[in-house]
Amino acid sequence: MMSGDFAVLELPEELKEKASTELNEWEHRRDEAIAQLRTLIQTENLQGCLSDGFLLRFLRARKFDLNNALHSYRLYYETRTLYPDIFSNLRPSCVQHVFTECVVARLPSPNDAGCPLLYFQPGRWDPDCWPSTDLFRANILMVEELLLRCPATQVHGVIILVDLTDLAWRHGVHMIGPSFIRRTARFLQGCTPVRVKAIHIYNEPLLFSRLFSTLRPLLKEKIRKRNYMRNLMELDEYFTKMNHFPIIRRPSANVSRIVRPSPNVCQLPQSSSIQK
């Protein structure tokens, strides 16, 4: 992906107000903040994409705090260097099976606050057919396309729905190991410049408490507070007014209404490693 793909797209007027209120983004100071972040990156001799639109992602995700944005930028590239099995040749065509099986999806419209709703049902994953790395690859592609194609996501943030229907120990044995847990914690906390507003977990089996007990100590307090265990009645109240509840109950029966990444999207800028 060329750096020109990361253009700064103008926000609608109503979204500009939200960006200034929630993210400290002021239009007359935005260019200056981007230039300051670029200077910090160059001062530390970090080699990565420096286009305005790409840097703006990190500023928005960290509410225009320059030091936090720099840390997130560094973490973004460190993660891609650390996990080549996830990021090498990362394209939708390589994980099409994950989207076809509705293991990872995006619901067709956002919530009332404008947050896209990302859907994850690991119980539909067949560990005998493809590795757990494909779960990460598909989720990353879904988020990266939103950041690229829908700049409003950078302001609104995303909501993650985790449906644990059919999750069993044949999945759990692959998810409870330290490698999977560490990767999950890293991807939820800063290695992608997106605001995770909430994570709604429902239909959890008994084994989930053991899985979550290994993950929880690695999560920052802010992320812990944004994890919600829901029953179906609570979800019904939360999503029925948006006409999403039938999709959440039976995503495989609503495939035509589920959004997947376009086949030509690739989230990586040309320089996909970081050096210091």
Q: Residues 178, 129: contact at Cβ < 8 Å?
A: no
In eight-state DSSP terms, residue 240 is: G
Q: What is the pLDDT of residue 190?
A: 75
According to the model, what pLDDT value does residue 237 have? 67
pTM exceeds 0.75: yes
pLDDT on residue 8: 76
Spatial separation of the C-alpha atoms in residues 274 and 276, rounded to whole Å? 7
Q: Rg of the chain's alpha carbons, rounded to an integer?
A: 18
State how beta strands 104-106 and 227-230 pair.
Answer: unpaired
Query: What is residue 240's predicted lDDT score, i.e. its pLDDT?
Result: 60
Q: Which residues contact 62 (CB under 8 A, 6 or more apart)?
A: 68, 69, 71, 72, 193
Q: Token digits for 18?
A: 């939200």
> What is the tens place of the pLDDT at every residue in 91-120?
999 999 999 888 999 888 888 889 999 999
Whether 5 has a pLDDT exceeding 70, the answer reads no
In single-letter form, the type of residue at position 27 comes to E
| Residue 274 pLDDT class (50, 70, 90 cuts) | very low
Q: What is d(CA 164, CA 260) in angstroms, rounded to the nearest whole number? A: 20
Residue ranges per structural domain of the chain: 3-84, 92-257
Tokens (6 digits) for 41: 């990156």
CATH tag, 92-257: 3.40.525.10
User: Regarding predicted confidence, which is higher, 251 or 24?
Assistant: 24
- CB within 8 Å of 78: residues ≥ 6 apart: 191, 274
- Beta strands 117-120 and 104-106: pairing type? antiparallel
- How many CB atoms neighbour CB 165 within 10 A? 15
pLDDT the model gives residue 276: 41
* Domain boundaries 3-84, CATH class: mainly alpha
Give every CB contact of residue 200 below 8 A, 6+ residues apart in sequence.
159, 160, 161, 162, 228, 230, 235, 238
> Per-residue pLDDT averaged across 1-30, rounded?
81
Residue at 172: amino acid letter? G
pLDDT-derived band at 209, boundaries 50, 70, 90: confident
Q: What is the pLDDT of residue 224?
A: 85
C-alpha span between 124 and 122 (Å, rounded)? 5
CA 25, 30, 32, 38 torsion-angle sign: positive
What is the torsional sign of CA 263, 257, 8, 274? negative
Q: For the purposes of burial, counting CB atoms within 10 Å of the CB of 40, is it exposed (0-12), middle (13-18) or buried (19 or more)?
A: middle
Mind listing the pLDDT tens digit for each residue in 158-179? 999 998 989 999 999 999 889 9
Mean pLDDT of the chain: 84
